[in-house]
A and B are shown apart, each in its own frame.
Chain A
Amino acid sequence: MFYKLLPTIFIITGLLVFTFSCKPGYDREQEPNNTFAEANDLTIGRPMQGMIDSVDDVDYYKIFVESRSVLSAELTGLRGINLSMKFFKHDSPPVLLKHIDDARKSSPEFLTNVYVEPGIYYIKVEQGARDPKSANTENYYTLRVKTRDYFYEEKEPNDTPEQATEILPGHDMRGYFSPAYNPMNSDDPDHPYREYDWFKFDVQLRHDRPLSAEISISGVPNIDSSLSLFDPDLELITRSEHNRTGEPENLSNVGLTRSGTYYIRTEAKGYMVNYDTPYKLSVNLNHHNPLYELEPNDTIEQANPIKDGLIYGDFGHQQDIDVFYYKPREGPGFYRVELTPSPSINPEMRILDANENTVAEPGRREPGSTVIYPNLHISEYVYFVLSTGLFIPDKSSEYALNVERVEIKGLVDYEPNDTRSEAVRLEDRDIIKGFTSIEGDVDFFLLEFNTRKRIEFEAAGGKNSHIKVSITDPMGYTISEYESKEGRTVTFTEMIDQKGYIIVESILEDYDNPYIINLRKK
């Protein structure tokens, strides 16, 4: 009989043991836990339930961390209540490390990654400051805390330069655009509550030879980021800001011209957040090659020199402006300028003289097309101001800028000569050579004689051009005009009433071959 009942006894005994030994899958807060001293112990990896049972209720939890790691915390939403949490490091008094508050009711809060070392930490669950406080005695919130091993990533909190995480050039580092708001950054005059991640790296220059830095941050879904570099005095050197969601940012050829600690700042704009996908931050340093630009060269004051008539550059971002100056060794004369871009950009070039007056603005062309300015006259030195209209972040935005002397006898097309008042005086010249320098270029030349002269003109455009040559009265009103296509010569005679203008207008440009006008007095 006993043996017959034995299986039943085993089953009942087993059920009783299971029933009494089985704890629920979570812990529950034990009030009072309203101060650091009263904090409930929280086991990493085990959910903790709590309740905001009065308007002023706050709940403290104590966490014991045994090894260097990255801690994350998730606090579920509580209907009708704007929950927030603060993360402290044990000290006397405890030090606030992060304040997580998305300023919304009923929504969960996430602390994605905070760097912790062995010791005691606290989490305080409370109500956010934005909404009126209320109680919820029907529902529990759940607080889950996890840790994972730390492996060369940002060390939150790294919200200020003083807290910057050290990054080793050549070794990519991970970080998160999280949290969305940083209530501890309420004093930021430009972007209150913005979450920043700061990094730093040390530079020791040898013989004061500058280094060139390449810094990039990968694109993260739903994040419109920006990337900034600061010098050892925390002065902004340059910034990359594409204003595109999910796109990378990069700073190219940034010059590090002195030893010290440099700082990088990343941020997500518009309080965007991504708890799941980290960004990758890369820093690479190289010795500066004088053939390459050195950022920042965004202004006239920061202009890079072009040493031997050639320099390479790279638009780091859509708004990047690169400024160069060129003082030719050969001295004053005419120079041909060629800006050769990679296929994914359409750069624009503005040329300024030594007085910073605009000499020419060769028009923007198709992506990848070379911008040519065939007859830049340099008296002393010039500036080139480059920008791009098209920019595709993950494609090459490099270019080469080449300046080469032009030796053409009789070249008198001193730009700008686009108006009567800028006309080039020809004096006793009997030959004029010039270029259709830009699309729709107009060149004015002034003829002056003591008496009325009858002149035979023999005009021919460049072999690939189409030009119109006009002769005017002394006031600049056109008397006659003639066209030359594909280099064909057109001959005509005109009276010059002591003074008159020759106007050469470009209908189709030829940047390689000059137009030629011979003048013969009859």
Chain B
Amino acid sequence: MNQTNQENSHNAAHALSNVRKMERAGRRRAITPIWVGAALAILTGLIFGLAGMGVSRLITAPFFVLMVLIVLFQTYKMGVLVRPFSSRHTSVVAMMVTAMISIPVILLSQNLYSEMGAAAPIIIGAIIALVGIILFVLERRVNCNYIESLK
């Protein structure tokens, strides 16, 4: 290998190292604090619980607004807006899957509410909140491991 090729290779390796460093720095900034994930999961559970009790949308609407405000606050604090889905296709599929899961859960919750009372939607809401927190913690851990692998 001649001198020029060796220099080119050295420069390319240095440039790639800079690319990895910047990606790592950006992703580290984008690690969402646990309180954000927990708050969003609890609010989601609360919305599902209230929907199961057949509570008016006017009462659940402020919780949606609060969720949006939390996401906005965190985004501006971090200074990076994370791409939630890799493509438009993935986001459409994700929304469809969410709707396909949410609607039966709410209907089930409403049916159980008429038979068992308020305990059923509260338990379902709590389960949803717990699953949300677990998923958030797992996703965060995967993210942290990926950042470590960029070293």
Q: Do A and B make up one complex?
A: no
List the interface of chain B (C-beta within 8 A of A): none
